[in-house]
Amino acid sequence: MRLDGKVAVVTGASKGIGAAIAKRLGAEGASVVVNYATSREGADKVVNAITSGGGKAIAAQADVAKQADVTRLFNEARDAYGKVDILVNNAGLYRGAPVGEITEENFHVHFNLNVLGLIFATQEALKYMGEGGSIINVSSVLSTLSSPGTPVYNATKSAVDGLTRTFSKELAPKKIRVNSVNPGLIETEGIHAAGIINYADAVVAMTPLGRLGQPDDIAPVVAFLASADSGWITGECLYAAGGLR
């Protein structure tokens, strides 16, 4: 119960990594705002998993690429719990396209959600977050591994790492820590839907620990960064990728 009495907002938490993070934070005592963009059913399942275990959680709809939605999301968090101690910027989008196929729409849809959405959520969280707050950005091993065929996505995650380092310095005087978690390939509904699972054998062959990651491999790392156990850590990009770099 390292997070007892804390309030956490997790964006993109209706499935996959975000759902695992929300459940883990709830299990460690946090009251969790489970954000979703379209899947209310998925968010409700996450809320039920937390509350059935004795925790506290609500579902809150918002497209974090839209500033008005983000403002509403944090207003709901305030109305439910009165404050925000932890923000997990997990919401993100992946659509592969090699350099010759990048379009204006492909560029903007990635940067609007993966980067601008993170900025919007961070700005709103700061209105309710005091000393001891923790912001955790979900980045990717592809911020530095830079796999071919995904240049725009890679660029957004490089931006996330850069924002993590810069925000950590800007917010340190307020005693708010900012870190990122950089997962390797994690088996989620999303990678199956996008067909990325078809490349899993190649990724596993490159991964020293020899397997795909699971959402529950990432959630404990986020919980650590959210807790006082990591109180002397800020501005770090922590790779949770089975040794893949």
The residues annotated as belonging to the active site are 153
**Are 45 and 22 within 8 A, CB to CB?**
no
**Cross-strand partners of 34:** 10, 59
Tokens describing residue 125 = 């969280």
**Interhelix angle 40-52/16-27, nearest 10 degrees:** 20
HSE of 166 in the Cβ direction (CA atoms, 13 Å)?
A: 8
Q: What are phi and psi of 89, to 5 degrees?
A: -85, 85
Reference 71, options 13, 122, 31, 110; nearest CA is 122
The sheet with strand 86-89 has its strands ordered as 56-61, 31-36, 7-10, 86-89, 134-138, 177-183, 237-240
